[in-house]
Structure 1
Amino acid sequence: MKQDLHEANRLSWNAATVAHNSHKGDQAAFFREGGSTLFPEEAGLLGDVKGLRVLHLQCNAGQDSLSIARLGAEVTGVDISDEAVDFATQLSQQSGIAARFVRSDVYDYFREAQARGEKHHIVFCSYGTLCWLSDIGAWARGVAQMLEPGGRFVFIEFHPFALVFDPAWKFHYDYFNEAPVPEEGVGDYVAESGDGLVREGYERGVENFANPHPSFEFTWGVGQVTTALSQAGLVIGRLDEYPYANGWKPFEGMRDIGGRRMAPPEGMPRIPLMYSISARKP
């Protein structure tokens, strides 16, 4: 693991999280009124979670964690950002939806949780998580260690093929990339996507956000991810690809084809923009 890069990313996420949440209005009221931030894809993959222990890795500011907890799960959310975990903890209290949030690098959490014998029925992560992981094999082994026998790993992510493009759909980044990719910092993708990532009541909030902290990303192809999970002992039941991105509009001309599913412009060939994996621990 590259702890120095993880620390840089923590600082970058702390700054970005403030900007992201500035666009989302009164989130506690949204949840008190029965709101959920889950898209149908992850809700379907999760299935009935009532009474189950769910570990939500890289949970960000906790909105999806609380949406899962509302369905009756006992949820633990883990994120590297102090700002995100503080916000999530406060949102849990203000919304009246119980969940536990822990500030930790996922690799540290795996080690500490394994030492105390912690196990879960479901490990879940979604949307923009893998690019922050410096060791995909250690991550997959950690996921497997956190699961009870018969437990499930549920994962949905933006497709790495889509990440080779710049905003104008020009090829720019390597699909195969062994080294961390330095960036100017976590951007305000919530503002860029507007009402795509805010279910209702988008607010202008922080404008022209420029992150003062650089960030570092890692590229993991679908083959690397599935191989790592398989080698960790998980049995992959499904791998699905989707020709749209839920909520996210990173490229020019993306259009909502219904349900905040964002697709390429009319006339452009369909390409995979998301994929999901459902796996089980024997």
Structure 2
Amino acid sequence: MHKDLHEANRLSWNAATVAHNSHKGDQAAFFRAGGSTLFPEECELLGDIAGLELLHLQCNAGQDSLSLARLGARVTGVDIADEAIDFASQLARDSGIPARFERADLFDWFDAAIHDGRRFDRVFASYGALCWLSDLGTWARGIAGVLKPGGHFTLVEFHPYAMVFDPHWTPHYDYFHAGPVTEEDGVGDYVADSGKGLAPVDYQPGIVQFNNPHPSHEFSWGIAEVVSALIAAGLRIERLNEYPYSNGWRGFDDMRELEGRRMAPPAHLPTLPLMYGLTARHG
């Protein structure tokens, strides 16, 4: 476990979150008008969540959390970044959608929640969450510790195979490498890179040519490592899907935009797994 690197990442995410939200226009008005940032994949894997207690891990600035709350869940979002939690809390107030947001290193939060006996029907994480975790075993045991018996964990994540490529589709990074890999440029402005893919309503130029002053540190986890960690924590894998596109994120050169803001490799490349999703049951 590298909690010193988690803290360094907090600083990098604080800076990046300001840039990301500068492109998204009036988000409170978007939610008041019934908007949602969810994609069909996470909704299908989660199923009906109305009336359930739902924990959103690494919730970022809360847009997906509020979209889940609109579906009837009682949502608690947790994130390490101060800027993200402050923004999410204000967005909940301004949009009139109730949700609870708590700032903490996720591993510290799990320890406190388990000690206090907090339990949830659903635990959810998505899109670029796992690369910030320095220990998958601690993460998986934390999920198991806060799930109610019979509860489900749902994950939708970018496929680790896709992460071996640099932005030009050239193999560059090791698949079997747990890190940490230090990025001196820190968390980048992937919202600006993706345009309306990640800011579907009223995209704004916002902060231009963002430079993050804080380096970031990432960890690479293969699908087998993720699944094995969840099984070792006592969870039962019920479903595992792979997808030949990425939702919203235009992470590589010349990506084709498909229906529903899905991004696929350019036509001259073969189909590649760019996302995966899974569900795991407690007990």
TM-score exceeds 0.5: yes
What's 2:217 paired with? 216
Q: Tell me which residue corresponds to 2:149.
A: 149
- Please show how residues 90-169 of structure 1 align to structure 2 within 5 Å: 90-169=90-169
Note the 1:1-282 alignment, pairs <5 A.
Answer: 1-183=1-183, 184-282=185-283
* Cα distance in 2, alignment partners of residues 135 and 146 from structure 1: 17
Distance 1:230 1:193 in 2: 34
**RMSD (CA atoms):** 0.6
Give how far 1:205 is off: 0.1
Which deviates the most, 208-217 or 196-205? 196-205
Unaligned runs of 5+ in 1: none
Distance between the aligned counterparts of 1:35 and 1:242, measured in 2? 24
Question: AA paired with 2:8?
Answer: A
Stretches (4+) displaced over 4 A: none
Structure 2 CA distance for aligned equivalents of residues 257 and 22 of structure 1: 25
- Cα distance, 1:198 vs. partner? 1.0
Cα distance in structure 1, aligned partners of 2:155 and 2:144: 13
Q: What TM-score comes out, normalization by structure 2 length?
A: 0.99
Amino acid at match of 1:65: S
Alpha-carbon offset, residue 10 of structure 1: 0.1
Q: Deviations over 1:11-64 (max 9, x none)?
A: 000000000000000000000000000000001111111110000000000000
For the residue of structure 2 that corresponds to 1:185, the secondary structure is: coil
Amino acid in structure 2 at the alignment position of 1:250: G
CA distance in 1, matches of 2:178, 2:2: 13
Q: Deviations over 1:60-90 (max 9, x none)?
A: 0000000000111100000000000000000
Partner Cα separation in structure 1 for residue 252 and residue 188 of structure 2: 14
Post-superposition offset of 1:267? 2.3
Question: How many residues in Structure 1 have an aligned counterpart in Structure 2?
Answer: 282
Q: Percent identity?
A: 66
Write the letter of the residue equivalent to 1:26: D
TM-score by length of 1: 0.99
* CA deviation after TM superposition for structure 1 residue 179, in Å: 2.6
Query: Following the alignment from structure 1 to structure 2, what is the Cα–Cα distance between the partners of residues 202 and 111?
Result: 39
Shift of residue 160 of structure 1? 0.4
Unaligned runs of 5+ in 2: none
Structure 1 residue matching 2:18: 3-state secondary structure: helix
- Secondary structure of the residue aligned to 2:56 is strand
